[in-house]
Amino acid sequence: MSTPANTLPASAVPRTPKELEREPLVLNKRSLGWLSDAIGGIAETKTPTWWWILFIPSVLLATFMFSLIFYLMTTGVGVWGLQIPVAWAWDITNFVFWIGIGHAGTLISAILFLLRQKWRTSINRAAEAMTIFAVMCAGIYPLIHIGRIWLGWWLLPLPNANSIWPQFRSPLLWDVFAVSTYFTVSLLFWYMGLIPDLGTMRDRAKSRIRKFAYGLFAMGWCGSNRHWRNYEKAYLLLAGLSTPLVLSVHSIVSFDFAVSQLPGWHTTIFPPYFVAGAIFSGFGMVLTLLIPLRSICKLEDVITVRHIELMCKVILGTGSIVGYAYGMEFF
């Protein structure tokens, strides 16, 4: 007569081989309470000195940028070196840089969520926030490159007295629709993921102002089964929308080059090359931000070496694709 499994001694229960055991996502067997204290405490404590040391130069650089934009508006876009056949000059390099690093957040959150890669949970919030600010920076350049920023609304298909529509065959207009759509979906996706966190911060808040602010944006989140069920459906829907979007947006950005007649630009490899390059640069920027952050904020148990290794593998794969695209230029 066989013995039930629940009555067997612990030594008789077969164990998973050591080489097949999964590495924990959080080291040292940390509890959920410890995670809430470690991560929530960053926003609840007094602003550290190092933050002000980095913030003040950032404000000075931002002020310098707006003064240069004012100089551009009063002088003209010729200061960028615009000429035939240079269509965008200095502007296009900055636009592609910012929109490129803005893809990692949606990739980590959406595609890895659909593939059930749980290691994304330690890094997706920082990557999504990086995406929002990077796309905001990228959206500046199509606007200022037209020279007359106050006429930027002409890029939108709005009814007007002249009955003139935008030139839909222009790559500039494609960028406007692509970037605005990507920003909107990324913002919704970022905010949707923040709702449970905002509910936690609301419950931990000690002042009335913080409790009201967090409670307003948490929209009454209480963590019930009904809330989690609706949340997971909405999050899955946004992840499904974001996945093709993250692949299509940078393909449209590549058309700024690919639809031109310049030798070296007029090629069909540009869309996959730009997508791989965006993921490559985006993950590189995430590593640039998170490696110092895990040390400064004492998050070594949350952002582990395994997370860094997995991101480096993605960088290695996309970097190989970028290298292949560079090599194809010789043939």
pLDDT, one tens digit per residue, over 89-113 is: 777 888 888 888 887 778 778 888 8
- Predicted confidence at residue 64, as pLDDT, reads 93
Q: What is the pTM of this model?
A: 0.82
pLDDT at 87 > cutoff 60? yes
Gap between the Cα atoms of 66 and 74, Å rounded? 12
- Predicted confidence at residue 57, as pLDDT, reads 92
Q: In whole angstroms, how far apart are CA 238 and each of 76, 99, 310?
A: 41, 20, 24
155-179 core/surface letters (b: 16 or more CB in 10 A; e: else): beeeeeeeeeeeeeeebebbbbbbb
SS3 117: coil
Domain boundaries, the chain: 48-80, 84-149+167-328
Amino acid residing at 96:
V
Half-sphere exposure in the Cβ direction for 131 (13 Å, CA):
31
Overall fold of domain 84-149+167-328: Formate dehydrogenase/DMSO reductase fold (1.20.1630)
Minimum mean pLDDT range among 45-54, 97-106, 301-310: 97-106
- Predicted confidence at residue 65, as pLDDT, reads 87
Write the DSSP assignment of 249-310 as a string of letters. Answer: HHHHHHHHHHTS--TTTS-TTHHHHHHHHHHHHHHHHHHHHHHHHHHHTT-TTTS-HHHHHH
- Predicted confidence at residue 248, as pLDDT, reads 84
Give me the residues paired with residue 86 across strands.
Answer: 83
pLDDT for 247-292, tens place per residue? 888 888 888 888 877 777 778 888 888 888 888 888 888 888 888 8
